[in-house]
Structure 1
Amino acid sequence: MAPEYAMQGLFSVKSDVFSFGVLLLEMISGRKNNSFHLQEHGESLLILAWKLWSDGQGLELTDLSIKESCDAIQVVKCIHIGLLCVQDDPTNRPTMLLVVHMLGVDTIPLTRPSLPTFSVGRDVRPLNPIGLVHKTSTVNEVTISDVSPR
């Protein structure tokens, strides 16, 4: 979901571009963007894709089931286009017409995307063996129980 829609309820044609970018990155990686919410650092698929692409390791994002048979140049190009689609500022995202054109033609120079900052990560605290109660000691060593609802 585009950040401007999730945070402010603003919807535009660029919201669809954002969703397409997420979908493109999900297809390449074989992972859902929401599968990252339980990780300790709260990184999203978008942040992972950005880090790998900007470090020149974009192919590391590729799902193992397609890695051997895919065209590496096309995969990196699709990651680049996906990152252009998920820019935080809707005005920096391309139109879908331009996205289709970029996917179909190799002669269009692609601009450098900026770091996608919208992420819905969370801090994961360790659970007790039962998995229902978080325990923390206070200064006077009295424990505080935080019971999670079902």
Structure 2
Amino acid sequence: MPDQNDLTLSHLNETGEAQMVDVSYKNVTRRQAVAKGEIKMKLETFEAIETGNTPKGDVVGTAKIAGIMAAKQTANLIPLCHPLPLQKIDVKIIGDKTLPGYQIEATVITKAETGVEMEALTAVSIAALTLYDMAKALEKSMKIENIRLMSKTGGKSGNYTLLNP
């Protein structure tokens, strides 16, 4: 079992090549991660999405489903991520006229040997990219920003909460 205080990069083997980390020695525990991000746009674009006046239909609903699907595909997208059984994926997309744009939050839960931080971050990223894709006919200057891990619980490394979100 690796030393948890060892600061070496666990995704590199002894010769410096990329490797998938061995988590077989870890206990299965409940793990949860929350990630957030945002997409900023012109007020006119925001209002068009809010009123359903867009060329591609339900922008927010499609982005929410895309975020959920992305979390489930994380191991296929990020080479060294472990495929995990996901028990819950919740993606919230909240209109924010002060941006203007949308706040995106993803919560992912599993019972596994490793955490779901990457799944939550992937869900937020793909939801934001889908919002962009669905509204790019209205505006190409939208900005995807501030994608970050807000918190994680479970696992041997303990809990984490971002102190200054």
Do the two structures share a fold, i.e. TM-score over 0.5?
no
Task: Specify which structure has the bigger relative contact order, considering alpha-carbon pairs within 8 angstroms and separated by 6 or more residues.
Answer: 2
TM-score (norm 2): 0.28
Between structures 1 and 2, the one with greater strand share: 2
Between structures 1 and 2, the one with greater helix share: 1
